[in-house]
Amino acid sequence: MIRALLLSLTLVNAQAWAQAYPTHTVKVVVPYGVGGPADIYGRYLATKLQESLGHPFVVEDRPGGGSIVGTDAVAKSAPDGYTLLVMSNTHTVNETLIPKKPFDLMRDFAPITGINSSDLLMVINPEVPAKNLKEFIALAKSKPGVLNYASSGPGTPYHMAGELFKYMAGVDIVHVPHKGSDQARTAVLGGQVQMMFDAITTMAGQARAGKVRALGTTGKKRSGVMREVPTIAEAGVPGYEATIWLGLMAPAGTPRPILEKLNTEVNKIINAPDVKETWGKQGAVPMGMSVDEFGKFLHEDIAKWSKLVKATGMKVD
């Protein structure tokens, strides 16, 4: 009886706390570089949450270690709703790819909701002598271990898209990890690295301007943003598919009512008709879901990437 009463009082207190939340600045950590999709959409979401909840939501970019540096900082933060993490499929990949991390995703974090997903765009520097995907594959096969591709770090969607491409196309291309997607992008634009997979939301403009050559998109069907570019599956690697998605999490132990409140607010924002329209033009699709649905999604994504990591024997040096 006393135990049940204490539990009831705890629940009431948590609900009251959530109703008042937030009362001061909330820090939103993006464990990736400036200018990438996590940074762009993280800042957009922070601005909208500040408008709806009445207190500042401040983005802090903390790249490094394929997202591990910033993520670990959030894992060690107080579970009070005032430090949040913008995460991606980098995190679900790293559960298998980098088992000796200072944190465990599903143990040390609490799901809030998914944000959006988008296709990737495979691009090469214009100086590379290949006009289409088949020519690039032929070039790579003629020069094993000579061509390279950039990513924003081990386990990131850009890295996994590259490894999946190597595996399915049967080519030997060297992975060149960078601290953030902005640095990887700059390396390809400057010609220091020949190729990369990048979010279509950030690379489409560079392709249209002729600064890179687009060889294919990574979705099941052609992107509405660049319909003129074939999918990689139709251009020469049947069955190929890879995407990038973003989500929001908090340190484990954050009161459930606060998680639910954030879930409700984020889903309102990303499902607004004007947001859907704007993001759609950029190639991003809102993927809001309940707290429990997002938790299930994360478990399934961890299992999916675990199979690829084990099948390819991928390792991080």
pLDDT at 29: 98
pLDDT: which is higher, 304 or 231 = 231
pLDDT at 18: 67
- The closest of 189, 185, 187, 186 to 201, measured between CA atoms, is 185
Q: How far is CA 228 from CA 81, 207, 214, in A?
A: 44, 12, 10
214, pLDDT greater than 50: yes
Range(s) within the chain of domains with CATH label 3.40.190.10: 119-235
The predicted-structure confidence for 28-66, as pLDDT tens digits, reads as follows 999 988 888 999 999 999 999 999 999 999 999 998 887
Range(s) within the chain of domains with CATH label 3.40.190.150: 23-117+244-312
Tell me the C-alpha distance between 248 and 263, whole Å. Answer: 9
**Chain position carrying tokens 């040390």:** 108
pLDDT at 317: 61
Q: In CATH terms, is domain 119-235 a member of 3.20.20.120?
A: no
Query: Is 47 exposed, middle or buried (CB count within 10 Å of its CB: 0-12, 13-18, 19+)?
Result: middle
CATH of domain 23-117+244-312: 3.40.190.150
268, pLDDT greater than 50: yes
